[in-house]
Each structure stands twice: as C-alpha cells, then as structure tokens.
A = this chain, B = another copy of it.
Amino acid sequence: MFEVKALALWPGFRVTAKPKASAMAEKKWVYSFGDGKAEGAAKLRDLLGGKGANLAEMSNIGLPVPPGFTITTEVCTAFYENDRAFPAGLKEQVEKALADIGNSVGAHFGDAANPLLVSVRSGARASMPGMMDTVLNLGLNDETAAGLGKRAGDERFAYDSYRRFISMYSDVVLGVEHHNFEEILEYFKEEQEYSLDTELSADDWKNVIARYKERVQEELGKPFPQDVNEQIWGAIGAVFGSWRNRRAETYRRLHNIPESWGTAVNIQAMVFGNMGDTSATGVAFTRNPSTGEKAYYGEFLVNAQGEDVVAGIRTPQSLTKKARLEGNDKKPSMEEAMPDAFAELAATFERLEKHYTDMQDVEFTVQEGKLWMLQTRSGKRTAKAALKIAVEMVGEGLIDEKTAIGRVDPASLDQLLHPTLDPDAPRDVLATGLPASPGAASGTVVFNSDEAAAMRQAGKDVVLVRVETSPEDINGMHSAVAILTTRGGMTSHAAVVARGMGRPCVSGAGSIRIDYKTETFTASGVTVKKGDIITVDGSTGQVLKGQIPTLQPELSGDFATLMTWADKYRRMQVRTNAETPHDAETARKFGAEGIGLCRTEHMFFDEDRIVAVRQMILADDAKGRRAPLEKILPMQRDDFRQLFEIMQGLPVTIRLLDPPLHEFLPKGDEEIAQVSEDTGIPADKLTRRLAELAETNPMLGHRGCRLGISYPEIYEMQARAIFEGALLAAKETGAPVIPEIMIPLVGMKTELDFLKARVVAVAAEVEKEQGKKLEYSVGTMIELPRAALMAREIAASAEFFSFGTNDLTQTTFGISRDDAAQFMNDYLGKKILTQDPFVSLDIDGVGELVRLAAERGRAARPDIKLGICGEHGGDPASIAFCEEVGLSYVSCSPYRVPIARLAAAQSALAVASGAAQGSGTA
C-alpha cells in the first residue's frame, strides 16, 4: 500500500504494508471504456459510480465516448479503511490503463512531443454536489504544453489549456483558492487593456502562466508539480479525500446517503471544446426538467471548456432554434450554428431515452465538428415535471405504469398540494425556522388564539404567532391561515396540528423574540406589531415581511392519472387522521379510505363545551362528573354523527380521551379568574385543583386509558356518543358505520379488559334502549414499549392494533418531542442520528417493537387488523417499512394522503419485486 498523507502535497509513493494475499494484488480496481466497448456497464453503478457506469454503458451502445477508465468505489473504501493509503495493485493497473488510452488516441501521458491529456472526475453512486468535481487538461507541464502547441499547430490553444489546468488543479487539488488566479488574470487584462479572455494571445497566456506558478510557489512554498505522475495521483487522492469533506458530509446527511458507498474516479482522454469555432461544449436535458415538456433543453458555448459553462463568465447559447426564439436570444442556437453536430446530438438524445427509458441530463463536447459524450444520467426534475414525464412516457410506450409510479418521489407531491410563493416575487426574509407544515399564506399578525378567532370572524386572514401552541390553541389555529412558533420542532404540537389541518406552519423560528405584553416580535432587527402583515412559507421555513403573491395548486390530469395507477398497485389502505368535518372532507377529496385516528379531545376545546369539560374535571367525585358529562354527550354524539356521515361505509377509528386533564384547565391568574366566573367554581378551588393535577412529566402521567380507569364515566359517555352517533348516521345515510373504538396508552392487558368491559356494557345498554343491533370493534393503540412486548396477551382482548409511533418513539428513545429541539440539531450535526426519528421511523429500534408486536399480535389473533396512525403514517420511508411488516393500513394527516397512496404503491411494488427496504438510525 502507498499513502497519500496530505492531499495538497505529494509525498511520493511509499509502500506501508505488503499485499496481504495474492488475491488482493490481483483484485480488479480499474475498469476501462471507450472505442465502442467497455469493461463495465450501467448495472455496475455501485462499483463504478453513476458517471463511470454510464460512460461504460454509452460506450457499449456505441455512442462516441472519449476512451478512459474508472477507479472503483472499492478503492475509496480501501483508502479509508487503510488510513488513507491506496491498495496494492492500483498503481500498476492505473499505469496500464493510461497506456491503453494513449494507444487508443495515439498520444502518450507525459510525452513531451505528443502528450496525452486527461480529465479526472469524481463519480459516486448517487449524484453528490460538494465533492471535488473535475480536473481538466491533466498531463500538461512546461514541456508537454509546448509539445501540444506544436502538435496541434495552435500554441494559443495549448497555453490556454495549460493555464486552465494550473488554476483548476491548484484550486481543487492543492488548495490554492480560485480567486488567486482570477485576480492575476483580471490584473493582467487591465494591464493590457483587454476586456475578453479571447483577446489573450499565446504569449499572453505564457505570461499569465508564469504568474500563476509564482503564486502557487508563494502559497505552498513549493512549485507547481511538473511531474505528470505526481499530478494524476494528486488528483485521484483529492477525489477520494473529498468524499469526507464537510460539504459532502452535509449533503449525504440531508439525503440519507451512506458514507460507506464511497466514490469512484473517472479518468478520460481529453477532448477539446476550445479548439476554435468548430468546437464547443454544452449541457442538456432530453426534456424540460422544470415543466416536463417533451422538448430538448440546454445550452452550449463555442470554443470553450466545460468549466466556462458553469462559471457563467460567458453567456451560453440555446440548444434549439425554438428555445432561442422563445428566449429572445440574439446568438445562434446550436441547431443553427452546428447543424450536423446538433443532429447527431438529437439522435443521441433519442437513443439515450430509449435505452435508459428516462429523461437524461447529459454533458457533451464538440471538437472540431465531432460530437463526444462526456456524461449521461437521469435528470433531476421538479415534482410537476416528474409527474408529466412519468405519465407521458407511459403514453409513449417507453415505460409501464409500475415504472411510472416509481419515478415520482412521494414526498415531492407536497409541493403540488399546497399554495406556493410566486418564485418571481421579491422576498424580504425576517427569519427562517423549520418547514413544519407546507404551503404558504399571508395574513395579519395576532398573538393569541381568541383574537385570531375574533379577527377571522371579522373576515380577516390572520397569522397566529406564538412561542409554542397547546391544545387550547386549536380554535385559534383553525382560524389562522398560517402558524408561526418560535419554539418546538417538526413534531411539536403546532407542527403536528398544522399539518393535520393543512395550515402552513413554521415552527422553532428561534431567532424571533416575541413580547406578548407589547404584542410585537422582533427578527433581523425589524419589529413587527400586531396587525402588521407577514407571509409564512411552511415549505421552506421562511418568515417574510409583507404580503407575497402565491400560486395555487393544480391537481392536474397527470396527478390524477398517476394516483389512479398508484391505487391499482398498492396493497395497504390509506386512512386519515381527522376529527373535524372539514378535515374529514378534505381527506376524502385526497382519497382517504376511512379515518385511522379521530382524537376526541380536540372536540373538547370548542368554546361552547370547554366550560362543561372544566366542570367535569373540577368535580369532586363520579357523581359530580356525570352532570357536565351529560351536557357534553349530545355535542360529542353530533361530532361523531357528522364524521360518520362524511365517511359513510368507511371505517372510523375513534380514540377515547387521551391527554392529561390539566391541558383543559386555565393557566395564569387572569384565565383562572375568567374560568371561575364561567363555571361558578371558586378561584382558590381551581388553583388547588390545578396544583393537584400538575405533573412533572405529563407525557408519562395520568393520561390515556389511565384516565378511563380513574374516571370510567368519561369513557362511558364517549362510547355512548359514538354508538348513538353511529345509529343516527346509519339512519341518515343508509350506509352503516362500523366504529372502531380505540383505547389509548394501554400497557397491560388488564387495562384494556377493564375498559373494554365498560364499552361493551354501554353498547348493550344502547342496543336495548334503541332496539337495534350495533356492530363495532374495540382495539388499542400500541404506543408503549410494554404494549408491544405484551402484544400477544393484549391481542387476546384487542380486535385491532393501531401503532401510535409518535409516543412509541418517545418512550423507546426516552426523548420527549417537546424537548428534543434542545439537542436534536446537535445530534444530527454530530452524526449521532442520521435522521430525526420523529420524522422518519427508527426502523432498528422502534421498528423492531412494531415488528414484534405485529408478530405477537397475529400469533394470538391471526386476523387482527394492524395500522399505523403516528406522524410516520405520511412518511414514505416509514410507509415502506409498514408494507414490509404487512400492516393493513396507514393513517396520516389529510394533506399527506396522496403522498401515502403513492408511497404505499411504491412499497407494494418493491416488496413484490423482492427489493428489501430498510434504513438505520444508529
């Protein structure tokens, strides 16, 4: 093995360890391509990276690819496993492959008279910005540059290439930043009174090159490497080294790319787009990546090398005449300027789409009229384009429906379902928080929920701004067009409820300071008062000053078509979490097949019933609780009747009261005084009861079924409301509803037994009173580790399980959602966690409990109905897991229903094709 110690300095080769076995020495590290054939192919993407695999594939199908070779991702792995030393055998294989390229193009690496120049590019399995990208023209030094000039008969071209090489190599390999060279060039041009680079002559470039080399010497204390071998190993080392630079790591974390994949290195004979006006370089998409329209899309530059396009120094020209006319471009399009090369390119586009059956993103160079393909890959696209391309390609016969389903990222649908800010409108960003609930809206700032409701009634659009929200704010949140909080994460109360309601929400905007007293907030030095207008963009997390125009979502024909296909191939049902008629209707519109979670406590906060709820909580005994419960009964009955009517025929799972009672009580002296007046309960009694109900850890306190056991009359009232509501709805709609009554927070079978007996007794009473037969089932949430472990026992009594993965994640990790913000970012930053387990299910830990519970539950009751109703029910990766475990349904907030439908279809297809899913957290 030989080592690359510091990437900016070439220490020479040093063998640090003998090859362990001949097998190692013989290992194939290098795969060559070009000349209409290749050792690799597209399917070797894991080994060759995306770029390398596609260069091989293009060679194989006879496209013009400059000859070259790929150093495999296994070398990257070996490099890091061996403390940044290259594996044995690599040196020889690279030298041989370089010689082969030379033989192919008739030039030789380092040959003074006839030098081979190469490009060196990284290429991971997935496209990865942030890594070292490209070094062009490698192999040039003072000698070979002179030789190249002579051989090409174009000295200017040779020195232009050399100066490009020095600045590029120095920047990405030696760490001498680009601005050093820009400064020198700018200074030289001023000196010579040039305005364009093209004005520089060969001698001018020689002069610039001398200054470049001086600067490198100054910065590094050693000269720019003249040895071409030192150049090429330096570049290879730089590619591998960049796999773990900070930007690459950040990108991987954000996109869940495992570090273990590694990158490949592609080394390829140079072709020159800078050999005069019959040469050019360009980038293109085979279709429009923004709209999905079937039209070539791209740009090119005459007499240029690849980096000129990216650098934006010169304005590139359009590819097609049509695009030129649409863009009011003066300069000719490639179609007009280089008709032959363009025709070959267009033919190549068709060839590529047919071969890859997907829209491609390509790089090409034209050298003296001849087209060379330097890269092809599936093109990134907007959600809208993805939809259009997928649907149209089915129409064109390129792909089938199943493939089309896999071509759209479910999460990206969010962009299509919510209003978005007009991308062309100017933005004045006050602060950026977490993108907690997508969509954008503008409104008048208010700081409390009652006022939000009042202003809404007065016809105003309001944005509710709070430090954090609690269940008492439900009304205000409903009244607001958007919600902004300064505390709490992606799964804080505000975020969860806002997503459920489809309201845009930015949470945890920590740089905003709210002053409730003066009813103002300050951010970025600006003070915003109550009544001012702001815009909240829940898709990006931005909080903006003033009103920004928005674009309304179009649930276009392509969307509907894809959803129909998804529904055809998915196995799991998709339900919604909903408790208001509005949410239930929205969800139906989005295709929900029932309600998976109706949180009854949300029905307790309405102004006309909170008084009765409080009287119930403050009563001294069961008898005292019954009177207010009787007041609440008809209201709850009506809640359920409405939901049942909307969901006619579809299943509705109703969770009985879950949160600790103190959530319903007033906070602070003022509120207490008000409630005392409303309820007639003395303030001191209220205060005492509040103190009694206060809890150290309410999440782990007197809530869920524990309330039902302490106060059975509450659950009895709720059961009665459900049964009576079901009978009313059945009479109205003729489609009888089969309510699924769900007991929350069960950890022991005895808890469920105790409460199920009471629900069954109430059902019997209602049946007797009304002379009708009721159909219903009683089941439980599995949201505590103990419930998962004891699932076999619990399933003896539970007719269904619904995995409450929010709480299950909290207890399995011992992390409170409400408090996680304190350290979650730190954890993600320090790579302790690769993803927030409240956003995407922790498959290793929480997932194992789900798996165990499913197995054990089925062992006791083979036909047990299993679903998931946590936030994860709308997360594609989590849905894939649910499919693997074989759940019956997922339930998510209304706006996530389409996402879940698509993700469920993808998961079903993946499971059917045997592609196992699964990702780890730690």
Which residues of the partner chain B approach A826 to less than 8 Å between Cβ atoms?
709-710
- Which of B696, B749, B815, B827 meets A816, CB within 8 Å? B696
A342-B161 Cα distance, complex, nearest whole Å: 123
Task: Decide if B844 touches A790 in the complex (CB within 8 Å).
Answer: yes
Copies assembled: 2
A288-B844 Cα distance, complex, nearest whole Å: 60
Task: Decide if B812 touches A785 in the complex (CB within 8 Å).
Answer: yes
Nearest to A712 among chain B residues (CB) is: B830
Judged by a CB distance under 8 angstroms, whether A905 is at the interface is: no
Nearest to A786 among chain B residues (CB) is: B845
A227-B833 Cα distance, complex, nearest whole Å: 79
Task: Decide if B832 touches A814 in the complex (CB within 8 Å).
Answer: no
Closest approach, in angstroms, between the C-beta of A715 and any C-beta of chain B?
A: 14
Judged by a CB distance under 8 angstroms, whether A921 is at the interface is: yes
Contact A849:B789 (CB < 8 A) given known A709-B823, A710-B823: yes
A833-B790 Cα distance, complex, nearest whole Å: 14
Task: Decide if B784 touches A813 in the complex (CB within 8 Å).
Answer: yes
Task: Decide if A695 touches B816 in the complex (CB within 8 Å).
Answer: yes
Judged by a CB distance under 8 angstroms, whether A770 is at the interface is: no
Which residues of the partner chain B approach A812 to less than 8 Å between Cβ atoms?
747, 784-786, 789, 811
Closest approach, in angstroms, between the C-beta of A830 and any C-beta of chain B?
A: 6
Judged by a CB distance under 8 angstroms, whether A625 is at the interface is: no
Judged by a CB distance under 8 angstroms, whether A106 is at the interface is: no
Q: In the complex, identify which listed stretch (A170-178, A264-272, A697-705, A732-740) lies at the interface while the others stay far away.
A: A697-705
Interface string of A772-813 (1 = CB under 8 A from B): 000000000001111001100100000000000001001111
Which residues of the partner chain B approach A845 to less than 8 Å between Cβ atoms?
747, 785-786, 789-790
| 5 smallest beta-carbon distances between A and B, as pairs | A748-B922, A700-B816, A697-B816, A701-B819, A785-B785
Task: Decide if B699 touches A698 in the complex (CB within 8 Å).
Answer: no
Task: Decide if A814 touches B819 in the complex (CB within 8 Å).
Answer: no
Interface string of A886-922 (1 = CB under 8 A from B): 0000000000000000000000000000000000011
Judged by a CB distance under 8 angstroms, whether A671 is at the interface is: no
A431-B827 Cα distance, complex, nearest whole Å: 49
Interface string of A693-729 (1 = CB under 8 A from B): 0011111111000100110000000000000000000
Which residues of the partner chain B approach A747 to less than 8 Å between Cβ atoms?
812-815, 845, 922
Judged by a CB distance under 8 angstroms, whether A822 is at the interface is: yes
Which residues of the partner chain B approach A701 to less than 8 Å between Cβ atoms?
815-816, 819, 822
Which residues between 822 and 841 of chain A lie within 8 Å of chain B, taking CB atoms?
822-823, 826-827, 830-833
A845-B849 Cα distance, complex, nearest whole Å: 12
Task: Decide if B785 touches A830 in the complex (CB within 8 Å).
Answer: no
Task: Decide if B921 touches A819 in the complex (CB within 8 Å).
Answer: no
Task: Decide if A695 touches B819 in the complex (CB within 8 Å).
Answer: yes
Task: Decide if B849 touches A785 in the complex (CB within 8 Å).
Answer: yes
Which residues of the partner chain B approach A749 to less than 8 Å between Cβ atoms?
922
Closest approach, in angstroms, between the C-beta of A263 and any C-beta of chain B?
A: 23
A784-B807 Cα distance, complex, nearest whole Å: 14
Closest approach, in angstroms, between the C-beta of A635 and any C-beta of chain B?
A: 27
A285-B922 Cα distance, complex, nearest whole Å: 63
Which of A697, A786, A814 is most buried by chain B, counting CB atoms within 10 A of its CB?
A: A814
Which residues of the partner chain B approach A696 to less than 8 Å between Cβ atoms?
698-699, 816, 818-819
Task: Decide if A700 touches B699 in the complex (CB within 8 Å).
Answer: yes
Judged by a CB distance under 8 angstroms, whether A750 is at the interface is: yes
Judged by a CB distance under 8 angstroms, whether A745 is at the interface is: yes
Given contacts A700-B814, A709-B827, 6 further A-B contacts (CB under 8 A): A695-B818, A697-B699, A710-B826, A754-B830, A785-B845, A786-B814
Nearest to A701 among chain B residues (CB) is: B819
A833-B747 Cα distance, complex, nearest whole Å: 11
Closest approach, in angstroms, between the C-beta of A698 and any C-beta of chain B?
A: 7
A698-B845 Cα distance, complex, nearest whole Å: 22
A848-B787 Cα distance, complex, nearest whole Å: 12
A811-B699 Cα distance, complex, nearest whole Å: 10
Interchain residue pairs with CB less than 8 A apart (22): A695-B816, A697-B819, A699-B814, A700-B810, A700-B811, A700-B814, A709-B830, A710-B823, A710-B826, A747-B814, A747-B845, A748-B922, A750-B831, A750-B832, A750-B922, A754-B830, A784-B813, A785-B814, A789-B849, A790-B845, A790-B922, A807-B814
Closest approach, in angstroms, between the C-beta of A287 and any C-beta of chain B?
A: 42
A697-B807 Cα distance, complex, nearest whole Å: 13
Which residues between 471 and 519 of chain A lie within 8 Å of chain B, taking CB atoms?
none
Judged by a CB distance under 8 angstroms, whether A639 is at the interface is: no
Judged by a CB distance under 8 angstroms, whether A558 is at the interface is: no
A818-B695 Cα distance, complex, nearest whole Å: 8
Judged by a CB distance under 8 angstroms, whether A846 is at the interface is: yes
A432-B348 Cα distance, complex, nearest whole Å: 90
Closest approach, in angstroms, between the C-beta of A810 and any C-beta of chain B?
A: 6
Nearest to A748 among chain B residues (CB) is: B922
- Which of B750, B754, B815, B844 meets A700, CB within 8 Å? B815
Which residues of the partner chain B approach A827 to less than 8 Å between Cβ atoms?
706, 709
Judged by a CB distance under 8 angstroms, whether A186 is at the interface is: no
Judged by a CB distance under 8 angstroms, whether A884 is at the interface is: no
Judged by a CB distance under 8 angstroms, whether A751 is at the interface is: yes
Which residues between 750 and 766 of chain A lie within 8 Å of chain B, taking CB atoms?
750-751, 754
Which residues of the partner chain B approach A807 to less than 8 Å between Cβ atoms?
814
Which residues of the partner chain B approach A785 to less than 8 Å between Cβ atoms?
785, 811-812, 814, 845, 849
Which residues of the partner chain B approach A831 to less than 8 Å between Cβ atoms?
750
Closest approach, in angstroms, between the C-beta of A535 and any C-beta of chain B?
A: 28
A751-B921 Cα distance, complex, nearest whole Å: 12
Contact A832:B748 (CB < 8 A) given known A785-B812, A819-B702, A827-B709: yes
Which residues of the partner chain B approach A702 to less than 8 Å between Cβ atoms?
819, 822-823
Interface string of A250-294 (1 = CB under 8 A from B): 000000000000000000000000000000000000000000000
Which residues of the partner chain B approach A700 to less than 8 Å between Cβ atoms?
697, 699-700, 810-811, 814-816, 819
A786-B818 Cα distance, complex, nearest whole Å: 19
A785-B807 Cα distance, complex, nearest whole Å: 13
Which residues between 323 and 358 of chain A lie within 8 Å of chain B, taking CB atoms?
none
Contact A823:B706 (CB < 8 A) given known A786-B813, A786-B845, A789-B845: yes
A747-B921 Cα distance, complex, nearest whole Å: 11
Which of A807, A823, A849 is most buried by chain B, counting CB atoms within 10 A of its CB?
A: A823
Which residues of the partner chain B approach A842 to less than 8 Å between Cβ atoms?
786
Which residues of the partner chain B approach A844 to less than 8 Å between Cβ atoms?
789-790
Task: Decide if B832 touches A709 in the complex (CB within 8 Å).
Answer: yes
Nearest to A810 among chain B residues (CB) is: B700
Closest approach, in angstroms, between the C-beta of A496 and any C-beta of chain B?
A: 14
Closest approach, in angstroms, between the C-beta of A248 and any C-beta of chain B?
A: 19
Closest approach, in angstroms, between the C-beta of A708 and any C-beta of chain B?
A: 11
A709-B823 Cα distance, complex, nearest whole Å: 9
Closest approach, in angstroms, between the C-beta of A486 and any C-beta of chain B?
A: 12
